[in-house]
Amino acid sequence: MSPAKRAGSGSTPEKAATTSGKAATARAAKKAGTRTGSTAAEKAGQATGTKPTMTGKGAAETTGAKAAARGAAGTGQGAARPDEVGSGSRSSSSSGEALATYRAKRDFGRTPEPSGGPEPSPDGVRRFVVQRHRASRLHYDLRLEVDGVLASWAVPKGPTLDPDVRRMAVHVEDHPMAYAEFEGVIPEGEYGGGDVIVWDHGTWVPHGTDDPAAAIRDGSLHADLAGEKLAGRFVLVRRGGPDAGGREQWLLLHKHDEHAVPGWDPEQHDRSVLSGRTNDEVAAAPRAVWRSDVAPEEAEVSLDEAPEVPEWDPPTVEELEALDALGARGTWVLQGRELALTNLDKELFPGREGEAPVTKRDLVRYHARVGPHLLPYLFDRAVNLNRFPNGVTEAGFWHKEVPDHAPGWLNRWRYEEARADDTKVYFVVDDVPALAWMANYGAVELHPWTSAAAAPRRPTWALIDIDPGPATSFDDALVLARLYRAALEHLDVRGQPKVTGKRGIQIWVPVAPHLGFEQTRDWVETVSRAVGATVPELVSWRWHTSEREGLARLDYTQNAVNKTLVAPFSARPAPGAPVSVPIEWDELDDDELRPDRWTVRTVLERLAEAGDPLRPLVGLPQELPEL
């Protein structure tokens, strides 16, 4: 008799399991932002026999259709990390030891996976999940909740409802329950690197035993599954002892019951039951990541919901007076932090005509005062520094790595994808004292990454850079900026221009952070090509500056990992310390607009009068229309 019919007859364990299967499906769908429909799990969990259970070809087609329908509303979950085929070891030992092999294989400082621990279901109902995993080869990971962990088998060809088909299943290490609802991408080079979807999930009941862990150790487990795609009785049978690598070969088969479907192929039902997306779609745009530097219950970071950007207080009058009272060097206490300041009277910027030079003290003071306006663009992301410790009249240099002498209270971020010769640890400038420290460090320009530290390959901005050539006048740059204004208005896309503080104009477009750099770069290139085609006499697409004949370049290539543009309100290395400033679109028509109009001495007055028109776009999860 099938699980569905036993549940209808009031058999307590099966009824509890299948009824909870509906609840588990509903909970997962709610978390994924999708609407739960009538699924195989729900049919298997019906408590009455008033409607016949659909079996055979009709059930398979209905399941596939519903999965495809869910694809239109695709939302996602966190990164998952099933096994490589054949890379596991025997599992289902005591709960204290069950995850030892799992942990031994992973460096949780690098992989975005939960370390986890045994987590028995509070309602006593056992869950199962099947994940479709494209690593070095495609396989499916079947995971059954046993004693608070997920006993796991890698099934190369996937589970099937066809009762005449036997599948090889490699018994691998137990996994933490945190894997039960996660899908995403595991970085290349990591164990099991590839993309993962939650192909099916639901609840299950052991048949013929009340101790499934013992049944697994004995080499034979019968399991009644109630999922969205899989339903009915499955059997796992060990074929023999472990091989030389400690891997156990098992067989997975489906019994001849009312849920059996001859010819049923899992590859014909290739969408996630959580998000409705395929592996290709998850690989292109995962919607969540896992942080390895926090507890598992806090590790999931949604890419559809930007973190809340805090507010910062400016320095007090007393703190600024204390800075002014210091000699050429000394300790300044700012918002509870002690900053050891040096060479405060050093001239960093020559003065403009009729103005005094700008000293390091001036820059420290400016960074502290502008902090509440500048920090929203630096918060929670790596920052590249353009340093001029000897002043901007001498050559500066790019600096990324946090030095050993930096104070411990400065936040840092380790870039796990860095190559051996690349920067590993970056600054994260997220408070006013950190900004002041940067000024003392000679960091004239601050260039934040366009992606958050939690998801370095998922930008939150699409960047448009009007890069003038030697023959480009500012009027030419304004013509190009106005064309971008018209294009964005036509596309109903929000973005904001800013003058660079030197010669150019940039436009920052907020984007939903589930998009990748390839998508933002292609989108910006398409718009830019259209703008350039309108005024070809102003634009060159040549890569090398020497080949552009002095014309402007509409640079879309900054939309890439670790490619940056100067932050709003950052100073620029030029006389008078000009500042990059966001402006309103209609200011492009102001005859008095200049790219270096505001300086560290005047921009705060501008902010007090006009505010920051770019600030409302920080964190806006804007979708980019197809072009």
Instruction: Label residue 303 exposed, middle or buried (CB < 10 Å: 0-12, 13-18, 19+).
Output: buried
pLDDT in tens, 412-468: 999 888 888 899 999 999 999 999 999 999 999 999 999 998 888 889 999 999 999
Which residue, among 452, 375, 363, has the nearest Cα to 615 in the 3D structure? Answer: 375
- Least trusted range by pLDDT, from 57-61, 248-252, 577-581, 582-586: 57-61
Both structure tokens of 77: 């979950």
In the chain, how long is the greatest CA-to-CA distance? Answer: 94
Average pLDDT over residues 33-52: 33
Catalogue the E-assigned strands of 429-545. 443-448, 461-467, 496-499, 505-510
Q: How far is CA 269 from the centre of its chain?
A: 27
Q: What is the pLDDT of residue 274?
A: 87
pLDDT in tens, 479-504: 999 999 999 999 999 999 999 999 99
Cβ 190 vs Cβ 124: under 8 Å: no
Q: What is the pLDDT of residue 302?
A: 67
Cβ 188 vs Cβ 84: under 8 Å: no
Q: How far is CA 239 from the centre of its chain?
A: 41
Q: What is the pLDDT of residue 516?
A: 87
Domains of the chain by range and CATH? 3-302 (no CATH), 317-617 (3.90.920.10)
Backbone torsion region of residue 190, taken as left when φ is above 0, otherwise alpha when ψ lies between -120 and 50, otherwise beta: beta
Average pLDDT over residues 239-263: 91
Please state the pTM of the whole predicted model.
Answer: 0.63
**SS3 state at 452:** coil
Residue of higher predicted confidence among 382 and 302: 382
Residue of higher predicted confidence among 439 and 174: 439
pLDDT in tens, 111-156: 444 445 555 565 678 999 999 999 889 999 999 999 999 999 999 9
pLDDT band at 573 (very low <50, low <70, confident <90, very high): very high
Q: Percentage of the chain surpassing pLDDT 70?
A: 77
Q: How far is CA 68 from the centre of its chain?
A: 25
Render 168-203 in DSSP notation, one character per residue: EEEEEEEEEGGGGG--EEEPTTSTT-EEEEEEEEEE
Tell me how far apart the alpha carbons of residues 336 and 24 are, in angstroms, rounded to a whole number.
Answer: 48
pLDDT in tens, 304-363: 666 789 999 999 999 999 999 999 999 999 999 999 999 999 999 999 999 999 999 999
Instruction: Label residue 271 exposed, middle or buried (CB < 10 Å: 0-12, 13-18, 19+).
Output: buried
Q: What is the pLDDT of residue 189?
A: 61
Both structure tokens of 381: 């992301």
**How far does the chain reach from its first CA to its final CA, in angstroms?**
55
User: Does the pLDDT value for residue 2 go beyond 80?
Assistant: no
Please give the C-alpha separations between residue 340 and each of 350, 388, 407, 435, 478, in angstroms, as whole numbers.
25, 18, 10, 13, 43
Cβ 299 vs Cβ 201: under 8 Å: no
Cβ 427 vs Cβ 412: under 8 Å: yes
What is the H or E stretch that residue 281 is in?
Answer: helix 279-284
Both structure tokens of 54: 């659909």
